[in-house]
Structure 1
Amino acid sequence: MAGQGRLGTLRNWGILLVLWEIVGRLRLVADGALPAPSAILQRLWIDWSDYPPHIWATIEGASIGFLIGNALAIAAGILFVLFPLTGRLARGINIALFALPPIALSPILVITFSGMTPRIILAAIGCYFITMSATVTGLSQTDRRAIDIVRAYGGNRWKVLRLAQLRSALPSILSGLRIAAPNAVLGAILAEFGGGGRFGLGVYLIGSLGRGEPDRLWGIGLAATLIAGLAYGLFSLIAARLTGASRAVTMPAAAPSEARAKGFLRETMIVLASIALPFLFWWVLLYAMGTPAMIAKTPPALFEYLFLSPQSATNLGKLAAALAQTLPMTIIGMAVGLAFAFALAIGSVLYPVIVRAFMPVALVTQTMPLVALTPLLVLMLGRGHSVILWITVSVTFFPAFVTMAQGLSLVSRAALDVPRAYGAGPLKQLRLVTIPASLPYVFASTRLAVPRALLGVMIAEWLATGKGLGNLLNQSRGYLDYGMIWAVAVVSVLLSVVFYQLVVLIENRVLSKRGMSPAQ
C-alpha cells in the first residue's frame, strides 16, 4: 500500500508538471508570469555559476541562527514548565519577539550590526517562539501516570524531566524544529533583502527584481525552497527514526496545569510585570547595542513622537488609517488559513495518501521566500485583496497544519479502541476522541497563526498593494522616518498580543473544563 501511495504521488506530480509546462509554454498566466519548469531549469543552468556564494551565505546565516534560536527556545521551554511563574512573566517578551515584523527590524539591524549578525538574529527570532511553544506543549502533555511512576521511585523534579517529560515531548519538539527550519531560511533572506552584505539569495534577488525575468525569480525562489526543504526533510527523517514507531500508550490524564498566584494583588503584579518586561527589555537592548539615537526610539521617545510632538496628530492619523486597512485582512486571512490547516490535518488521518501528495506543494508555499513570490503573484492575481489573502494563508496554514497533525497522530490507539468496539466509524472516532484529545495542539497552532497572519498581510502590503501597515513601513523607510518605523513595529506587536491573549483566554476555559493542561 505504501508503494502504491508513492507511485500515486509521483503520478500526480508528473501530471502537474506536464500541465505547468503547457501553461508556461503557451504563456497563459499573465503573459508569462508563470514560466515553464523547463525554462526555469534552463535559467538555473545559465546562472548557476552565480549561485554558490549566495547560497552559502544564506545557509551560513540561517544555520547559525537556527542553532542559537532553537537552543534558547528549548532551554526557555523547559524553564517555563519547571517554573510556570517564569513563563507567565516572560509571556510578553515571547509574544513580542514572535510578533515583531522582520521587515521592520531588518533595516535597524543592518545599520547597527555588520556581517552575518543581522541574518543570524532574524533567523534565530524566526525559530524561537515556534520551538519554545512546541517544547512547552510537549512537556505539559506528559502522561501524569508516567510522572507518578518516576516520583514513586524517588525521582526528583530533574529526573521527572529527563526520564518522563523530555521523552514524551520529543515528537512535539521535533515537530517544532521542522517548522523552524524554513523560518530560519526566510529570516536570513529577509535580512539580506533589507540591505547589507554582498552575498546571499536575498541580495541576489534584489538585483534581479528590476530585470523583468520571472524565470530567474522563480529560480532564486526554488533555490531557497530547496535549502528549506532539505532542512525540513532532515528533521522529518530524524523524527521518523526517533519517534516513528512510538505512540502514546494511554490518553494523557490531567496534565500539569499552570500554577497561578494566590491573591488578587500578587496576580495583578504578575500581569503588570509581564506587560512591563518587554518595554524594559526593549530599552536595555537598545542601550546594550549602542544604536544611534536617531535610529533607536526608546519607549519615552516613541511616546513623544506619537503624542507630544507638533506632528503627533498627523502621525496618529497615518497609523490609524493604515491599521484600519490591515486589521480586517489579518482576521480573514487567519481564519481561512486555520480552517484550511484543520481540514488538511483531518485529511491526514482520513486520507493520508492525498495529503502526502499535497505536502510538496504546501512545503513550496511555505519555504519560497515571499519577497520572491510576491512580485510573481502580483502579475498573476493583481494588487487587490486576493494577493494579500493568498500570501497570508500560505504563511499561516503550514505551521498550524504541522502542529495539528502532530496532535492528531499522538492520540493513543487504546483510546480509539473503545469507540471502535461500539461500531464507530472514522468520522465518529474523530469527533468523539481524536479531536477532543488533540485540542491542546489545535490551540497551540492557533497561537502560532496569530502573529504569522499579521506578518503575511504586512509583507503583501509592503511589496504589492501599497496599503496598510506594510506600505506605511515601506514609505517610512524611504523617508528615514524611524519614529514611524518603531510605531508600526510596536502597534503590530500589540495587535498580535491582543489576539494571542484572546486565544489563551478561550483555551484556558475550554481545556480547564476538560481537565487538560491550559496554555503556558
Structure 2
Amino acid sequence: MANRAGFLRSGTFRNLAILILVWEVVGRVDWIAGGALPGLSEILIRLWADRGDYPGHVWATVQASVLGFVIGNLVAVGAGILFVLFPTLLRLTRGFNIAVFALPPIAIAPILVLTLSGMAPRITLAALGVYFVTMSATVVGLSQFDTRAADVVRAYGGKDWMVMKLVRLRGAVPDILSGLRIAAPNAVLGAILAEFGGGGRWGLGTYLLGSLGRGDPARLWGIGLVATLIAGLSYLVFAVISARTLGSSRSVTLNTAIPDADDGAERSLPLRLAVIAGAALLPFFLWWAFIKLTGVPDLIAKTPLGVLDYLFLSDTSHIARAKLLAALAETLPITAIGMLAGLGFAFLLAISARMFPGFIKTFMPIALVTQTMPLVALTPLLVLILGRGTSVTLWITISVTFFPAFVLLVQGIQRVPQSVLDLPRAYGASAWTELRMVSIPAALPYLFAATRLTVPRALLGVMIAEWLATGTGLGNLLNQSRGYLDYGMIWTVAAVSVCLSVAFYYAILLIERRTLTRLGMQWVE
C-alpha cells in the first residue's frame, strides 16, 4: 500500500512538472494571444522586481481574511449548535441562511463599502463567505451522532447540553474541520472582492485594480499567483490540522442518529404559518436593522421600502426599471448557459474519473489552481487570453461551477454499494453499462445538490466577468451605478441578485424533491 501511495504521489509530481514545462515553453514563444500567458520564469522575474510592493498588500489581505475567517466561523459554529438544539430556530432562519449562501459578494461589496469604514467591509465580506459552509458542516456533524453514547450520558442524568458537549461536539469534529478547510479560501476571496471595490490603499485587490491598465501580463499573473498561494495555503493549513487531529482514525459505530423527519405534522397550522412568515421576513428585517444600526444617511443606505420606492414609486422609477430589465436580459441567459455547461463538464469529468483515473490525475492540478485562485484575480488573466467577449464570461462561469459539482457527483457515484454493482457485472455488463444503468441513476440526488450549489456561483461568475471584462449586464450596471453615485440602483441590483439566487435555489429544491420522491429516493440537503 505504501509503495502504491508513493507511486501515485510520484505520478502526480511528474504530471505537475510536465504542465509547468509546457507552460514555460508556451509562454516563452508567445503562442497564446501574443504573450498574454507569460512563461513561469518571466512571472517569477516580475515578482522579484515587484517584491517591494507585495508585503503591505499581502498583509492587508491576510489580516482581513484571518479576522473575517475567525469571526465568521465562531458565529457559524455557534449558530450550528443552536440550530441543532432548537430546530424551530433553524426553520425560522432558513431564509436568512439561504440568502447568505446565495448572495453574490460582488453585489454587496459596494454596499458594505458605503455603510462601513476601515477594514470592516473586508472583514464582513470574508466572514459572510465562510458562514454558510461551516454552519452547514456543523449541523450535519452534530446531527450524525452515536445514540447509544447519548443514552449513556442521559442515563447518568445528563441533559441535552451534556450530550452536546460529550457526544455530539466530539463526533462532529471531522465535519467541522472539513467545513473550515473549504471555507478558508472563501475568506480570501471575500477580502479581495471588498478591496477591489473599496478604494483603499492596501490589499491585493487594490494592487490588482491599479495594475489592470498597465498592460503587463507578467505582473497580473504574479498578483494572481500570490492570491492563489494565500488561498491554497489557507486550505492546506486546515487539511494538515485535520490530518494531525484525526490521524488514521475511523468511526466504528454502526448506530448513528438519523435526524427526525419534521414535516410539521405535530405543529398547529397557525404556528407553521408563523414560522414560514418569519423565515421569509427575517432577511428583510435584518437588512433594515443593519441600516439603522450603522446610522448611514438615507441618501446612501436604502431600506427594503426605499428600494421599492426607487423601483416602482418615484418619478424616475420607469428609467430604473428599464435599466434593470435590460441588464437582466443580458445576464440571465449567459448565467443559465454557463451553469448548464459547467454541470455538463462536471458530469463528464465524474464519469472520466470512474472510467479513466489516469486522465483525472493529470487534470486535477489544473483544476485545483483554478479553484484556489480568487475569481477577481483569475478574470483579468482570462481577459488577456480570450478578450472581452462572451467567451470569457462562459469560461469564468464554467470555471467557478464545475469543480464543486464534480466533487459532489464523484461522491455520489462512489457511494453506490458494491453489492448493487455486483449484479450487472455478474451478467457481463461493461463499465459503461454499469454506469448508465446503476451508478448514474443512483447519483441523481447529488446531481440536484450540485445544481443548487452552482446557481449562486454561476451568477457570481457572470457578474464579475461583466464588471471587469464585458461591460454588460448586472455586473456592469452595478459598476456604472457606483460611478454615478446612484445608490438606489446599487441597492436594487444587490437585492435583485440575491432574490434571484434564492428563487432559483428553491425552484431547484422543489423540482428535486418531487422528482426523487416520485422515484422513491432520498434527497441530499
TM over 0.5, shorter chain = yes
Separation in 2, partners of 1:347, 1:60: 40
Residues 257 and 516 in structure 1, CA contact (< 8 A), matched pair in contact too: no
Moved more, 208-217 or 76-85: 76-85
Match of 1:186 in 2: 189
Q: Distance in 2 between matches of 1:448 and 1:270?
A: 25
CA displacement at 1:68 relative to structure 2: 1.2
User: Aligned pair 1:65/2:51, yes or no?
Assistant: no
Q: How far is 1:82 from its partner? A: 3.1
Report if aligned partners of 1:258, 1:518 keep a CA contact under 8 Å in 2: no
Distance 2:447 2:408 in 1: 7
Distance 2:390 2:218 in 1: 25
Structure 2 matches for 1:8-19, cutoff 5 A?
A: 8-19=11-22
1:210-256 Cα shifts (integer Å, max 9, x gaps): 11000000000000000111111122223334265426765978543
Instruction: Give 2:360's aligned residue.
Output: 355
Specify every segment of 5 or more residues in structure 1 that has no aligned partner in the other structure, as ranges.
none
**Paired residue type of 2:181:** R
Contact 1:404 1:441 in 2 (8 A): yes
What residue in structure 1 maps to residue 154 of structure 2? 154
1:260 aligns with 2:287: no
SS in 1 for 2:214: coil
- The 5-angstrom pairing of residues 48-447 of structure 1 reads 48-140=51-143, 142=144, 146-148=146-148, 150-151=150-151, 154=154, 156-162=159-165, 165-167=168-170, 169-241=172-244, 242=246, 245-246=249-250, 255-260=259-264, 262-345=267-350, 354-405=359-410, 411=415, 415-416=417-418, 419-420=421-422, 443-447=448-452
Q: CA–CA distance in 2 between the matches of 1:485 and 1:124?
A: 21
| TM-score normalised to structure 1 length | 0.89
Query: Aligned pair in 2 of structure 1 residues 132, 138: CA closer, same or farther (>3 Å)?
Result: same
More moved, 42-51 vs 98-107 = 98-107
Specify the alignment match of 1:489 in structure 2. 494
Percent identity reads 59
Q: Are the aligned partners of 1:365 and 1:394 in contact in 2 as well (CA < 8 Å)?
A: yes
Q: Which residue in the other structure is 1:20 paired with?
A: 23
**Structure 2: how far apart are the matches of 1:249 and 1:353?**
34
Contact 2:133 2:183 (8 Å CA) reproduced: yes
Cα RMSD (Å): 3.0
Judged with a 3 Å threshold, the aligned counterparts in structure 2 of structure 1 residues 431 and 81 are, in CA distance, closer, same or farther, namely farther
CA contact (8 A) 2:122 2:195 kept: yes
Distance 1:248-1:390 versus aligned 2 partners, 3 A rule: farther
Deviation at 1:419, TM superposition (A): 4.5
In the alignment, the residues of structure 2 paired with residue 461 and residue 420 of structure 1 have an alpha-carbon distance, to the nearest angstrom, of 49
Alignment of 1:38-49 (within 5 A): 38-49=41-52
Give the match's secondary structure for 1:49.
coil
Once residues 510 and 347 of structure 1 are traced to their aligned partners in structure 2, the CA distance between those partners, rounded to angstroms, is 26
Aligned residues of 1:256 and 1:517 also touching (Cα < 8 A): no
1: distance between equivalents of 2:489 and 2:434? 52
Change (3 A) 1:50 1:162: same
Secondary structure of the residue aligned to 1:310 is coil
> Residue deviations 1:159-187, cap 9 Å, x none?
55455544554444333222211111111
Q: In structure 2, what is the Cα distance between the partners aligned to 1:332 and 1:247?
A: 42
Cα separation, partners in 2 of 1:153 and 1:116, compared to 1, 3 Å? closer
Which piece of structure 1 moves more, 444-453 or 350-359?
350-359
Separation in 1 of the partners of 2:96 and 2:260? Answer: 23
Following the alignment from structure 1 to structure 2, what is the Cα–Cα distance between the partners of residues 382 and 28? 15
Q: Structure 1, residues 383-408: CA drift from partner, whole Å, max 9, x if none? A: 22221111112122333444555666
Larger mean Cα displacement after TM superposition, 162-171 or 426-435: 426-435
| Paired residues of 2:16 and 2:365 also in contact (CA < 8 A) | no
TM-fit CA distance, 1:364: 1.6
Letter in 1 for 2:45: Q
AA aligned to 1:288 is L
Q: Is the 8 A contact 1:329 1:457 kept in 2?
A: yes
Aligned length: 513
C-alpha distance in structure 2 between counterparts of 1:165 and 1:259, whole Å:
24
| 1:265 shift after superposition | 3.7
